[in-house]
Copies of this chain bind each other. A is one copy, B any other.
């Protein structure tokens, strides 16, 4: 119940969506249990109409599941589901990269990406990477991936990449924070950045197959991070969507 007075300009539907998403991701709503609209109404501080709208959108987003008899419940995911979602995202990003390579890109298009890369380089240069640096990395990484999708210059592809990245744990930076406490942390970031560099090089040289396969492999880094984090037990708290994953929160 902290009332945000800053949200006054945005629509009630968006406010409800934001509030509910946050509630789900922070574990305020347990997976599997029905979401009461009334409860959602008082949580979001708006009427039922925008809440209802928000619920539909969150279902499409993948966070909620429709109950046959009516209403919605919080979806829960197995570890396999999470890994597959990452694979889906990697596949879509691979497609975007391949199309970009095959169709060609101008230096103007890749310029912001190279700048992005340079900034990441600076972040991961030190032997020890601070927590704040990890946060900064998350933002830059997200930006790089967004720019990459746009490089395909294909609205249908961009759209599908976005949808595949919508689930928090499937997003490019889903498990970056989880790895921040890991000993392999810097190692993984260095490899990831190498992938970034290679995919850009491949695209510039119109090497479609190379661009595609490297993006697929790149996504699998996230899968590895997940497994590492699960094994290490602990850093999972840093990924908000952890509450949605079956084996670790409930078991």
Enumerate chain A interface residues (CB-CB to B < 8 A). 49, 52-53, 56-57, 60, 62, 80-81, 84-85, 87-88, 91-92, 95, 99, 154-157, 159-160, 163-164, 170
Q: Is A95 a contact of B85 with CB atoms below 8 Å?
A: no
Q: Is B56 a contact of A88 with CB atoms below 8 Å?
A: no
Q: Is A156 a contact of B81 with CB atoms below 8 Å?
A: yes
Rounded to whole Å, the gap between the CB of A226 and the closest CB of chain B is: 14
Rounded to whole Å, the gap between the CB of A93 and the closest CB of chain B is: 11
Rounded to whole Å, the gap between the CB of A152 and the closest CB of chain B is: 8
Q: Is A84 a contact of B156 with CB atoms below 8 Å?
A: yes
Query: Which of chain B's residues have a CB closer than 8 A to the CB of A49?
Result: 49
What is the bound-complex CA distance between A155 and B163, given in angstroms? Answer: 15
Q: Is B156 a contact of A88 with CB atoms below 8 Å?
A: yes
Rounded to whole Å, the gap between the CB of A57 and the closest CB of chain B is: 7
What is the bound-complex CA distance between A56 and B55, given in angstroms? Answer: 11
What is the bound-complex CA distance between A243 and B80, given in angstroms? Answer: 41
What is the bound-complex CA distance between A85 and B92, given in angstroms? Answer: 12
A164-B154 contact in complex given A56-B53, A95-B88, C-beta closer than 8 Å: no
| Contact sample, A vs B, 22 pairs, CB 8 Å cutoff | A52-B53, A53-B53, A53-B56, A56-B57, A57-B60, A62-B159, A80-B154, A81-B155, A81-B156, A84-B99, A84-B156, A87-B95, A87-B99, A87-B157, A88-B92, A88-B157, A88-B160, A91-B91, A91-B92, A156-B170, A160-B160, A163-B163
The 3 closest A-B pairs by CB, nearest first: A60-B60, A85-B156, A84-B154
